[in-house]
Structure 1
Amino acid sequence: MAPFRPALGLLDTIPGINQAVAEVIIAETGGDMARFTSARHLASWARACPAPTSPPAAPRTRRSAP
């Protein structure tokens, strides 16, 4: 991980990302962030942001048995 020390240091400054998680991100991406078009794309890939979903269903009402 020595060649990636600067990137590890930057990743470690993100809330919720510690040294171990930063190392996993570097290992999974190969350290080449150019393949991600934006920070949002990287966050989505890492599942660190909520995915767009359909609106929540209407709450179900519970009726008691007569």
Structure 2
Amino acid sequence: MNRAAAFAAASGLVLVREGKALALSDDGKKAVAAIRKEKLLEDEALFLEEIGKFTTEQVVEQIMKMEAF
């Protein structure tokens, strides 16, 4: 997850806020729109939608620190 976040930030797709929060940049929003328009990564989006229901801030922090949860 850390590598994906670093890659997205280096590519200009996300902005890093306060050293820990990520937000889509304008380019990131355009990329998401293009992906959705072409119906790419639909299975991945469904998976993330499902696990998102169970993902808390604490779980994300543990993942980012590579801790067991």
The bucket for the TM-score relative to the shorter chain is under 0.3
Pair member with larger Rg: 1
Higher helix share: 2
Higher relative contact order (CA 8 A, sep 6+): 2
With the length of structure 1 as denominator, give the TM-score of the two structures.
0.24
